[in-house]
Structure 1
Amino acid sequence: MFFIQMSGFPGSGKSTLALEIANRTGCIIVDHDVTKTALLQSVVEGEIEENATGKIAYNMDFALVDFYLAQGRSVILDSPCLYSEIIERGTAISRKFEVKYKYIECYLNDFSEINSRLTSRQKRLSQISEVKSVEAFHNALKHCKKPLNDDFLTVNSKEPLNSYINQVMEYIYK
């Protein structure tokens, strides 16, 4: 069993990779955009304050991860991973269930390609539709959090998925 935390800038290919891993392993995907979108729909209806949705969504994400790991299922958390707390919670829940912790970063340092992907996808309420500036993009890339140890995998998600999926699967099972 394993718990995988996906990471990367919006539009970098996290969800595409998570889906391929799930198809190959049978694990469950907990998608932060799905959780946060559901909460934001409640904001529109006036039931929740908008500034609380991110934290509440992560709490719900980890409650679902805990629930599925307790059932003996492997899980992928599909989220940008912009906060150290997300990694801390991920490693703690992995220890709790004595499962392998895997961190996979989809890295795409191409402002034009990211914007192309963001504008061409079917957007959820919680997702950005474009990056406004190159500076904001590079700043966000610099602040993406990684585990303190060196046990993580970064893939160049500008390349086709089939060029790195075998490397990803080897990393998961090692």
Structure 2
Amino acid sequence: MFFLQMSGFPGSGKSTLAREIAKITKAVIIDHDIVKSGLIEGLELEGVHDVDPKRAGGAAYHLEWSLVDFYLSQGHNVILDSPCLYDVLVEKGTGLALKHDANYKYVECILNDIHELNNRLTKRERMMTQIGPVDIPEERWQEVINRAKKPAHLPCMKVDTSQPLDDYLGAVIAYINKPDHNDRVG
């Protein structure tokens, strides 16, 4: 059993890769954008308007961790599709993997081409909580990419998502399936 924490800037290909991994491994995907958007939409239907997106994001993560915990407790492989911009996300993910004796895996999707990123962000059907094209100077782009938090003590995988998915999907599946003693937390 594994817990896979996806990481990467919005539009970098996390969700596309997560869906392909789930098809192959039968993993359950918990998508931060879906949970956060559903939470805000539900609150608005209940008459709560002007929801602070940052507070909604925090509440969404709380729900997501409850779902990760539940699905791991049932013996399911689980993928958390989220940008992973906070240390607490790595701490929570590694802690739940340890609790359920699951292999912890971390895949970071990297797209070094801001023009391609904006092309993807423009073409996708956006949920209410997803960003549109970004206006970041190219010289600052690497700094933005490097904001992702990752576990320093465990092997992580970076994938160049500017390449076709078929070029790296097999390597990602091999990484996830690799019975490496370093994958276990603790």
Partner in structure 2 of residue 35 of structure 1: 35
Partner in structure 2 of residue 67 of structure 1: 70
Once structures 1 and 2 are overlaid, which stretch shifts more, 151-160 or 138-147?
Answer: 138-147
Percent pairwise identity? 46
Cα deviation per residue 1:1-57 (whole Å; 9 max; x = unaligned)? 000000000000000000000000101000000001012224544267313111101
Q: Provide the rounded CA distance (Å) in 1 between the counterparts of 2:140 and 2:67.
A: 31
State TM-score, norm by structure 2. Answer: 0.89
Q: Is the 8 A contact 1:42 1:48 kept in 2?
A: no
State TM-score, norm by structure 1. Answer: 0.95
Once structures 1 and 2 are overlaid, which stretch shifts more, 52-61 or 41-50?
Answer: 41-50
Partner in structure 2 of residue 107 of structure 1: 110
Partner in structure 2 of residue 15 of structure 1: 15
Partner in structure 1 of residue 171 of structure 2: 167
Partner in structure 2 of residue 127 of structure 1: 130
Paired letter, 1:10: P
Paired letter, 2:48: G
Q: In the TM superposition, what are the counterparts of 1:146-165 in structure 2 within 5 Å? A: 146-165=150-169
Cα deviation per residue 1:101-148 (whole Å; 9 max; x = unaligned)? 000000001110100000000000110011122266443212111111
Q: 2:8 aligned with 1:3, yes or no? A: no
Corresponding residue SS for 1:5: strand
Partner in structure 2 of residue 55 of structure 1: 58
Q: Is the 8 A contact 1:39 1:48 kept in 2?
A: no
Q: Provide the rounded CA distance (Å) in 2 between the counterparts of 1:172 and 1:84.
A: 22
Corresponding residue SS for 1:118: helix
Name the Cα RMSD after superposition.
Answer: 1.5
Q: Provide the rounded CA distance (Å) in 2 between the counterparts of 1:122 and 1:103.
A: 26
Q: Is the 8 A contact 1:68 1:74 kept in 2?
A: yes
Q: Is the 8 A contact 1:4 1:75 kept in 2?
A: yes
Partner in structure 1 of residue 182 of structure 2: none
Structure 1 residues 150 and 99, CA gap change in structure 2 (3 angstroms): closer
Paired letter, 1:109: N
Q: Provide the rounded CA distance (Å) in 1 between the counterparts of 2:43 and 2:12.
A: 27
Show structure 1 runs of 5+ residues with no match: none
Paired letter, 2:171: Q
Alignment length (residue pairs): 174
